[in-house]
Structure 1
Amino acid sequence: MNDKVLNTLEYKKIKQSIEQYLTTKNGQKELSELYPVDNPNTIQTWLDETDDGAHILRLDKEISIPKLEDVSPYIKRLKIDASLNGSELAKINKVLKTSNYLVRFFDNLKADDVSLNRLYKLINEVQSVPTISKQLSDSIDDDGRVLSTASSELNSIRRRMDVIKSQVRSIMNQYTQKNSKDLTEPIVTIREDRMVLPVKAENKNKFGGIVHDRSSSGQTLYIEPASTVGLNTELRQKEVEERVEERKILAELSDLIRPYQYEIINNAKLLGHFDLINAKAKYARSLKATRPTISKENIVNLKQARHPMISLDKVVANDLYIGGENKSIIITGPNTGGKTITIKTIGLLQLMAQSGLFVTANEGSSVAVFDNVFADIGDEQSIEQNLSTFSSHMDNIVDILNSTTKKSLVILDELGAGTDPKEGAALAMSILDKLAEQGCDVVATTHYPELKVFAYNRPETINASMEFDSETLQPTYHLLMGIPGQSNGLNIASRLGLDESIIVEARLLVDQESQDLNNMIVELTEQTKRARENADELSVQLNDATQLHSDLSEEFTKYKNQKDKLVLAAKQKANEIADAAKQKADAIIKDLREKQKQIGEVSVKENELIDAQGQLNSLRHDVDLVHNRVLKKAKAKHDFHKGDDVMVKSYGQRGVLMQKLAQTEWEVQLGILKMRIDESDMEKINVKNDETRFNSKVKRTSSKGLSAKLDLRGHRYEEAMHEVDQYLDSAVLAGYPSVTIIHGKGTGALRQGVTELLQSDRRVASFNYSPANAGGDGSTVVELK
């Protein structure tokens, strides 16, 4: 693709947005070299990779790669037998460790049966060398410092150095404590890499040793006491030995990785490529972009396409279709209506797709593969349209006409502008005819009304326009395919208050044909607007219905799975019971035979025993739970309806179902009482006549186990009210004359709720707060009828 069109369509801004997600130098380098290609296989491969990265993100995972430097300069030094320093080796080791991590990451994905298009094949190219990486990790840290574990010699040297430093520090601390009066400050400081004391000049003879420095005033001398000179000298010698040993270790490590130069460079490049794939996927997620398909017919069909540089809360989406019978699109209409941003969207999304990037359009969108994209888009916001502007446009168009093929996409903004309108319109039509001869796809915008008729009469050419709301006098930025742009000048002038006589005279000056055409366009625009609004509404309803269907299907699948598990468990249980019965029966038959042998008399015939054993064996079979009469009968007992007679198990009383109060709770008439009962506490019963139903008596149960006090403290409001209702039922049945409900003081919500419930309860004769010595208004005493 030519550099000019990449700048015009702001392709480089897309790459800048992707760059923020990169962590490796090689990834940044690969992104800088990324440009649209015209090879369908390459595009397909790139899209597969981006799709894999997006799929991994959807699984709440990530191709996590740390910040990696470019190690190629260090590898070049290895080629000339140079030794690397600690920092360089640490950066190479970081590449090796990341390579090992990434191999394990994809192994785990494969073990979890995660399906990927391309990345499993790509990760096989990464060379894992864990032994080399481990030796490097044992020898140098992430900052390049050589570790004591690198060699026993280095460890021994550093341990001796620590001992010496400790001894020197101990001696110096004694000086700061015992001779503090002779010091400017009771501290130990460093001069020429040696520990020294800040001694007052007049007391220098008390310390002896070596003077390493003096203050600018000459009042302080920095002295190394004689008692530490020997230790510090030994320490300097050990430091020299340490540096020699470190250089030796670094040389050995350099020799260790020298045979793996190709693997390291290749891994670094692959890590950069994985980094770019991850960045593309993250960028797609941030834009809510989707994967386009590559059209075999070279048709661009972008559904609800959005410009990627405009925020989602402001951008207006449009359906964009180019190719087939619509190889040329002529977009007409006034300025500021969104024509330029629409044609930029077409070009930019096509460039993104040919770079292996997802596009900001809905699922099911397709793109073509163009050998080149050309664009002549000028800034039409300036007032003047002078000769130099026109010349500049013509220079661009000449270059385009000389370079296009039948597989090119040409984008032209304000074609023919900058000159006399009649000449400009004629020139625009001639240019469009020439491009049509060359067979390329064209999207052009224009102000000239003559091009509306031109587009209507030319084959494979279609009119389009940007919708304009005549009520609000504002553009809606919606693209209307098949409808030319309408002229709104007179309508706008009228709505803005221009004298009506001027408007009438202006309309007389416009020929009738133009007026009829404009009226037709207005009518078509209104129809299209209504159709789009209806389609949007139907789309929302379809999405809701689809989601509901999906949810119901998922729940039904769960139900079937649970049902199958329960049936299987029931069959297994039935078989266990049958097996146990058979074993007992076999034991009995065996015992009978033994007894027959003992008494010598055959009281039971053998064939009868065999028949009995066969009947017992038939007990074990695949139990048909669906047609099991016992289960059917049990199920019928819990198939409740209003008016059914039921047995309330906890009270041992018959009742009648009055109404369903909740999913599993009913209001039950028990004699003169109405109670709230759960379905699990009831069984349906058959009553032969109505007399039996209404003559049932409610017996008071023993009060044993039921407390005369109900404590609601710490309970939620709804739960507490339900408990009070059930408690009063039990208290009435138990025959309690009065009970106490403890609700506490707190915020007063429970107390208020209890009061309101008792006021409307027919079971309550009266109620009042407890005496002051028994809780006061923290509890309520209830007298029952």
Structure 2
Amino acid sequence: MNKKIFETLEYEKVKAKLMPYLASQTGRQELNRLGPLTDYEAIQLALTETLDGADVYRLKGGIPIAKLDNIAPQMKRLEIGATLSGLELSQITKVLRTTQDILGFFRKLQDEKITFHTLYDTVGKLQSLPEISRRLIKSIEGDGHITNEASDKLFGIRNRITSTESEIRGKMDGYTRGKDAKYLSDAIITMRDGRYVIPVMAQYRSHFGGVVHDQSASGQTLYVEPQAVMELNNRLRQNQIEEKNEEERILEELSNLLAPYREELLNNANILGHLDFINAKARYAGEIKATQPTISKENHVHFRRARHPLIDPKKVVPNDIDLGEDYKALIITGPNTGGKTITLKTFGLLQLMAQSGLFIPVAENSQMGIFNEIFADIGDEQSIEQNLSTFSSHMDNIVKILAKIDDRSLVLFDELGGGTDPKEGAALAIAILDKVGSKGSYVLATTHYPELKAYGYNRPETMNASMEFDTQSLKPTYKLLVGIPGSSNAFDIATRLGVEPAIVMQARALMDQDSQDLSAMIQDLSARQKEADDRAAKLKVEVDEAEKLHRDLRNEYQKLVNSKDQYLEKAKQQANDLVDDADKKANDIIKKLRKMEMQGGASIKENQLIDSKSQLNALHQAPSLKKNRVLRRAKAKQALKVNDDVLVTSYGQRGTLLRQFDKQHWEVQLGILKMKVSVDELEKLAPEKEQKTGPRTTIRKTSSAVKTTLDLRGKRYEQAMTEVDRYIDSALLAGYPMVTIIHGKGTGALRKGITQYLQGNRQVKHFEYAAPNAGGNGATVVYFK
């Protein structure tokens, strides 16, 4: 895409906003390479990665990427056999340490059952190299210093150095604190040329013997290495040389250890940089309250409540901007400083951002297009060097644009045709727009010319729009009004500012009738648009309140249904406890009776004991009365005949008998359905009374035979899916607004099958997993239309 558009629309300023959120040098390099994409799959992937990053940011505060340097130069040095310094090795160590941290971080997310679209696959490409990581972490500190644990030999050398330094300081302290301190210009111990010395006054240079290594600028102080510590200094120097040699050997060994893993290390660094970049995109999206747009392959752009990302959200006025579906050209008119240019820039910049995989500051359900090129002619681009006027500069730019556009191009024109004679400029603007339209390009244009207001009505795929102006306050509202051309409002403004009415009337008379009619039409349309907007805003508030009330009622209803089942089961349990208590007492009585009979008391027959026991057992309540045989026999005894009104208990629905198939089955009319139903599921009802006035209303009864919950746990897949199909039909006939299907978690096969079935059922409005305290993703709540 042409680079000029980035400067015109301030795209680079948006990229600069992401820079503070990046921790790695590789991430910064990826940001520098960022640009709009034109491939659908690539854009979708970039947006999906941003979505995953936003989820991590929302749940865990972001991906924990440490500050990392670019290790590509180190990898090139390893390739040619060079030995890396301690600092270079520490930079590689940070990459390995961060790799381990990231792998551990995402393992915890997997354990928590948090799902992502792409991040697990991306992180799965990291290679931890545990042995090398342990060796480097053990040997190199963050500042590049080689640790004592790097080798046993180094540990021993440094111990000797410490011991020797301690011995030297002990002797030197004797000079600075003892009777010899009077020969010193200052009672301190210092170093010259890597050797410990003391500052001796020049006249006492021979008092300590040894070697003079330096003198002060005045020559009054000599820095002397006393004879008594010369041997210790020599030993210290020798140990220091051995330390340096051992450190060089360790660095060479570690470099050789890393050399075979150059590609893996570089790949890790690039992946970490990419994760850092995803993190930055997510954090920037959170800062500007941006959302993910969907992608339209047909280039139907719908930006809802679009805001310019570089303007304070407290000051910017959001606007709905559409292009592509109903019209491919939008002509925006309105007063100066009314917001036309910023609307133009907002649309173009948001499209660039979205094609770059960035979230954009729009409302949910917004939609973006894909343009191969975006061109703009915005602002005063007068070239002094070329000695071109403003108009000439614009024309030169437009000529270049017209030579490059096609049906996948977006063109932004600001004040098209401006800078010259109004009539000639308007005619030229119309011709340019026609040329753009003939190539199938998409265009947003701003203008002052009244001729272009009519252009929007006369040309196909073209729409007028304007920036609203409040004639009462004499200030622009910065609100885009689509479908209404702008009005200059000059006469109204002049009147409110105190211009004499006679002058205004004379000015109106000088206008031709067509212009006056057009102005009147625009004012009428603006008034109607404002009235419609106000009414729509009021209706939206009422709809939101109604939806909230509906949700509350639905939740309360579900709580009521759940409470009813719980109380019923609790009551049954209490009844069973009472019966169990009575049963225990009865058993005690029976034991006593048998004991009495064994002791020669009255004769008690066994069948009497069994009958008593059976009567007590009959007091137990069954968990459910759905399959009560007594009720079924009572229903079966009812005499049924054609045209009788019946209740189909299995569906909780009133119906009419049409004909009898056999002794056990009838054909029943249920609304628009005809069904074959068993007589055990039929209950005869009294005929409904006809209403004298108004339409006939059928009241659905909710039968206790159809529960609001279907439990499929432990059932085979085929059996479970059959039961789901029958259960949904039953619930619909019963008039339930919502039901719950319990399928458990398991392998997820049954949950997936139920999800596919619900997606294909037209009667299902939507469905979602149950609340965490109600089963989570082990249960699905289904809402019907």
Distance 1:89 1:584, change over 3 A: farther
Distance 1:616 1:96, change over 3 A: farther
CA contact (8 A) 1:27 1:276 kept: yes
The alignment's C-alpha RMSD in Å is 2.8
CA contact (8 A) 2:5 2:374 kept: yes
Distance 2:589 2:76 in 1: 91
Counterpart of 1:139 in structure 2 is: 139
CA contact (8 A) 2:382 2:389 kept: no
* Aligned-residue offset at 1:544: 5.3
* Paired amino acid for 1:324: E
Distance 1:580 1:254 in 2: 82
Query: What TM-score does the superposition give when structure 2 sets the normalisation length?
Result: 0.74
3-state secondary structure, aligned to 2:401: helix
Distance 1:579 1:224, change over 3 A: farther
* Aligned-residue offset at 1:267: 0.9
3-state secondary structure, aligned to 1:127: coil
CA contact (8 A) 2:197 2:224 kept: yes
Distance 1:309 1:556, change over 3 A: farther
Distance 1:72 1:298, change over 3 A: same
Counterpart of 1:13 in structure 2 is: 13
Counterpart of 1:404 in structure 2 is: 405
Q: Deviations over 1:99-127 (max 9, x none)?
A: 11111111211221212111111111111
Q: Deviations over 1:114-155 (max 9, x none)?
A: 121111111111112222111110111111111111111111
Counterpart of 1:757 in structure 2 is: none
Distance 1:118 1:67 in 2: 23
* Aligned-residue offset at 1:61: 2.7
Distance 1:611 1:287 in 2: 80
CA contact (8 A) 1:387 1:419 kept: no
CA contact (8 A) 1:574 1:623 kept: no
3-state secondary structure, aligned to 1:480: strand
3-state secondary structure, aligned to 1:463: strand
Counterpart of 1:454 in structure 2 is: 455
In the alignment, is residue 40 of structure 1 matched against residue 60 of structure 2? no
Distance 1:62 1:236, change over 3 A: same
Counterpart of 1:249 in structure 2 is: 250
Q: Deviations over 1:162-220 (max 9, x none)?
A: 11122222222222221322322222222222222222333344322332222223332
* Aligned-residue offset at 1:234: 1.2
* Aligned-residue offset at 1:582: 5.7
Q: Deviations over 1:19-71 (max 9, x none)?
A: 12111111111111111111111111111000111111221431121111110
Counterpart of 2:162 in structure 1 is: 162
Distance 2:436 2:570 in 1: 74
Distance 1:479 1:425, change over 3 A: same
3-state secondary structure, aligned to 1:17: helix
Distance 1:595 1:175, change over 3 A: farther
Q: Deviations over 1:444-493 (max 9, x none)?
A: 11111111112111111111111111111111111111111112222222
Distance 1:190 1:539, change over 3 A: farther
3-state secondary structure, aligned to 1:498: coil
Counterpart of 1:113 in structure 2 is: 113
3-state secondary structure, aligned to 1:62: coil
Q: Which stretch shifts more, 574-583 or 292-301?
A: 574-583
Distance 1:613 1:403, change over 3 A: same
* Aligned-residue offset at 1:540: 4.3
Distance 1:309 1:226, change over 3 A: same
Counterpart of 2:29 in structure 1 is: 29
* Paired amino acid for 1:480: L
* Aligned-residue offset at 1:559: 7.9
| Aligned pairs (5 A) from 1:154-303 | 154-179=154-179, 180-303=181-304
In the alignment, is residue 327 of structure 1 matched against residue 334 of structure 2? no
Distance 1:543 1:264, change over 3 A: farther
Q: Deviations over 1:647-704 (max 9, x none)?
A: xxxxxxxxxxxxxxxxxxxxxxxxxxxxxxxxxxxxxxxxxxxxxxxxxxxxxxxxxx
In the alignment, is residue 81 of structure 1 matched against residue 81 of structure 2? yes
Distance 1:181 1:372, change over 3 A: same
Distance 1:78 1:568 in 2: 74
Counterpart of 1:339 in structure 2 is: 340
Distance 2:565 2:229 in 1: 86
Q: How many residues align?
A: 621
| Aligned pairs (5 A) from 1:521-540 | 521-540=522-541
Q: Which stretch shifts more, 314-323 or 573-582?
A: 573-582
* Paired amino acid for 1:8: T
Distance 1:569 1:126, change over 3 A: farther
* Aligned-residue offset at 1:406: 1.1
* Aligned-residue offset at 1:538: 3.8
Counterpart of 1:780 in structure 2 is: none
Identity over aligned pairs, percent: 52
Counterpart of 2:477 in structure 1 is: 476
Distance 1:367 1:388 in 2: 36
CA contact (8 A) 1:582 1:619 kept: no
Distance 1:238 1:366 in 2: 71
| Aligned pairs (5 A) from 1:422-437 | 422-437=423-438
* Aligned-residue offset at 1:278: 0.8
Query: What TM-score does the superposition give when structure 1 sets the normalisation length?
Result: 0.74
* Paired amino acid for 2:79: K
Distance 2:592 2:150 in 1: 81
| Aligned pairs (5 A) from 1:732-751 | none
Give the unaligned 5+ runs of structure 1: 626-785
CA contact (8 A) 2:375 2:411 kept: yes
3-state secondary structure, aligned to 1:374: strand
Of structures 1 and 2, the larger Rg is shown by: 1
Distance 1:586 1:167, change over 3 A: farther
Give the unaligned 5+ runs of structure 2: 626-785
3-state secondary structure, aligned to 2:163: helix
Distance 2:192 2:552 in 1: 77
3-state secondary structure, aligned to 2:444: strand
Counterpart of 1:153 in structure 2 is: 153
Counterpart of 2:648 in structure 1 is: none
3-state secondary structure, aligned to 1:206: coil
CA contact (8 A) 1:387 1:418 kept: no
Counterpart of 1:708 in structure 2 is: none
3-state secondary structure, aligned to 1:114: coil
Distance 2:622 2:188 in 1: 92
CA contact (8 A) 1:352 1:358 kept: yes
Distance 1:76 1:544, change over 3 A: farther
